Amino acid sequence: MLILAMPSAPRETEGMSELLSRHRAVMPSWLPLYYESPLELVSGSGARVTDSEGRTYLDFFTGIVTNMLGYDVAEVREAVERQIARGVVHTSTLYLIRSQVELAEKIARLSGIPDAKVFFTNSGTEANETALLLATHARGSDEVLAMRGSYHGRSFGTVAVTGNKAWKNSSLSPLNVHYLHGTDHASPAFRGLSEREYVDVCVADLREVLDTAAPDVACLIAEPVQGVGGFAMPPDGLYAAYKEVLDEHGILFVSDEVQTAWGRTGTSFFGIGNHGVTPDAMTFAKGLGNGFAVGGVVARGDLMDGLTALGVATFGGNPVSMAAAGATLDYVLEHDLQGNALRQGATVVQGLRELRELPCVKDVRSKGLMFAVEMVDPETGAPSAPLAGRVLEAARERGLLVGKGGVHGNVLRMAPPLTLSAEEAAEGRDILLDAVHAVAADRA
């Protein structure tokens, strides 16, 4: 029998350009890669990662806001190794999983949602699908409110509630979606308004939508800070004002905490806490497993139990992801990483504020260890994705990995590990300052 030899990865001697060609040949064209010359990250420790050519970087993007404790954290590694050593990486939820029950108890308690129950999934997309199913089923309606500029995932239902054209392949939708204002204070229509006036206008618009366009809404789904949207954030208190109106109509509120949970915003354990709101459901993923695939929904018990058909996510809440997630959450709580996010976030953003003086920087904003620099064309003031791309490259050349986002792709966004030290915060801030100044002066 003829056995065809397939190339096996990784091939130590293979150059980046060859790997890139192989990637392009077999991976989808719509799966974006960062950098003109893309990176292969092969090892990591703490807040640093090393590429296949031996260069080390300080990581301020953590695998898209996911390696929440940084790399090679002994507590997480050992918890996973202990589980694997037992010989069981999967059993399914047809059987009791002790670590799953224990983690659900902790998340339910931390959520502040009354009589909360938890369902574990494998991703944020799947978590949001579940929340949308719970809400539309409970309310017997396919009408959903979402925010302009939002991102909630890549499945049919979550694309339907995504308000960011760059990530929306289809306008075909299983839901009837109405988009609300709240993260567009800087747009020409609203920029003259004070924060209070802007909130009032947003609330009036919500009332108008409910009175005239959307008779029977199931829920509002919203990110407290829009992740892919470039860390765009509504004024604190907007969602409390929205919730008052929603409550008048019995409309449910789902907070998508995929990027904002576990203390990242510094001032609250879940991002929505910054608005003084307890939602009916919260979705989570990314950081909880510190890189292991885990997501989920925590919801009011009656809402969770409202589904009438059976449900299962085969891999959701499997013993390995539960070991990783349990150890990660314990680490966050035992080391008060929410407090650290507040302290180190302040160090970084205080330094970055000077960038606002530059004609190519429109805004510098932050919440805890989520911060963003918004780039514009210095001549026209229009959003400039190319300038953001140049800063991304300039930061990499100087040894710092950052991310990009925004509805116009012109926002640099940073979400370092919550374990970031004061020295690392200062180092990353200084590299970023240098990179932006170099691009502003056309030196990069």
Q: Residue number with the shortest CB distance to ligand PLP?
A: 124
Q: How far is the CB of 150 from ligand PLP (least distance, A)?
A: 8
DSSP-based helix, strand, coil % in the chain, nearest 5: 40, 20, 45
Among the residue ranges 108-116, 148-156, 267-275, 360-368, the one whose residues contact ligand PLP (CB under 6 A): 148-156
Task: Identify which range of 9-17, 45-53, 97-105, 150-158 contacts ligand PLP by CB under 6 A.
Answer: 150-158
Stretch binding ligand PLP (CB under 6 A), from 151-159, 173-181, 232-240, 272-280: 151-159
Contact with ligand PLP (CB under 6 A): which of 61, 151, 239, 262?
Answer: 151
Would you say 199 or 228 has its CB closer to ligand PLP? 228
Burial 402-428 (b: 16+ CB within 10 A, else e): bbbbbbbbbbbbbbbbbbbeeebbebb
Q: 77 CB contacts (<8 Å, ≥6 apart)?
A: none
Residue 207's CB: how many other CB atoms inside 10 A? 13
Q: Which of 126, 424 has the CB closer to ligand PLP? A: 126
Q: Which lies closer to ligand PLP via its Cβ, residue 259 or residue 344?
A: 259
- Is residue 131 near ligand PLP by the rule CB under 6 A? no
Q: Which of 108, 145, 218, 285 binds ligand PLP (CB under 6 A)?
A: 285
C-alpha 338/C-alpha 268 separation (Å) is 8
Q: Residue 232: which of 147, 162, 159 has the closest Cα?
A: 147
Angle of CA points 303, 225, 227, to nearest 5°:
100
Measured distance CA(366)–CA(60) in Å, rounded: 14
CB of 29 to ligand PLP, least distance (A): 18
124 interacts with ligand PLP by CB under 6 A:
yes
- Token pair of 233 as six digits: 């954030």
Strand order in the sheet with 361-367: 361-367, 370-375, 411-414, 403-405
Q: Which of residues 379-438 bind ligand PLP (CB under 6 A)?
A: none
In angstroms, what CA-CA distances link 261 with 55, 247, 257, 284? 31, 24, 5, 7
Write out the binding residues for ligand PLP, residues 32-51 only, by CB under 6 A. none
Cα(424)–Cα(430) distance, integer angstroms: 10
Name the minimum Å distance from CB 258 to ligand PLP. Answer: 4
- Shortest reach from residue 380's CB to ligand PLP, in Å: 30
**Is 153 an interacting residue with respect to ligand PLP (CB under 6 A)?**
yes
* Cis previous bond, 10, omega within 30: yes
* Least distance (Å) between residue 268 CB and ligand PLP: 16
Cβ 305 to ligand PLP, closest distance in Å?
Answer: 24
Nearer to ligand PLP, 285 or 436 (CB): 285
Q: How many residues of this chain bind ligand PLP (CB under 6 A)?
A: 16
> Which range in 90-98, 109-117, 118-126, 334-342 contacts ligand PLP by CB under 6 A?
118-126
Contact flags string 45-84 toward ligand PLP, x per CB under 6 A: -------------------x--------------------
Region 234-263 residues binding ligand PLP, contact defined as CB under 6 A: 256, 258-259
Q: Could you give the strand order of the β-sheet that contains 295-300, starting from the edge strand earlier in sequence?
A: 116-121, 295-300, 281-284, 252-256, 217-222, 143-147, 176-180
On whether the CB atoms of residues 150 and 227 are closer than 8 A, the answer is: no
Q: Which tokens in the block code for residue 429?
A: 């801030």
Name the minimum Å distance from CB 260 to ligand PLP: 8
**Of 256 and 280, CB closest to ligand PLP:** 256
Residue linked to tokens 């929904």: 297
Region of 10-18, 123-131, 298-306, 368-376 interacting with ligand PLP (CB under 6 A) = 123-131
Min dist. Cβ of residue 33 to ligand PLP (A): 16
227 near ligand PLP, rule: CB under 6 A = yes
Q: How far apart are CA 129 and CA 108, in angstroms?
A: 19
**What part of residues 195-224 is at the interface with ligand PLP (CB under 6 A)?**
223
Contact 85, 323 (CB under 8 A): no
CA 331, CA 289: separation in Å to the nearest integer?
11
Residue in the block written with tokens 């710092």: 400
Token pair of 251, please? 């409309």
Q: Which is nearer to ligand PLP, 152 or 390 (CB)?
A: 152
CB of 225 to ligand PLP, least distance (A): 9
Q: At closest approach, how far in Å is the CB of 407 from ligand PLP?
A: 14
- Give the residues lining the site for ligand PLP (CB under 6 A): 64, 123-125, 128, 151-153, 223, 227-228, 256, 258-259, 285, 295
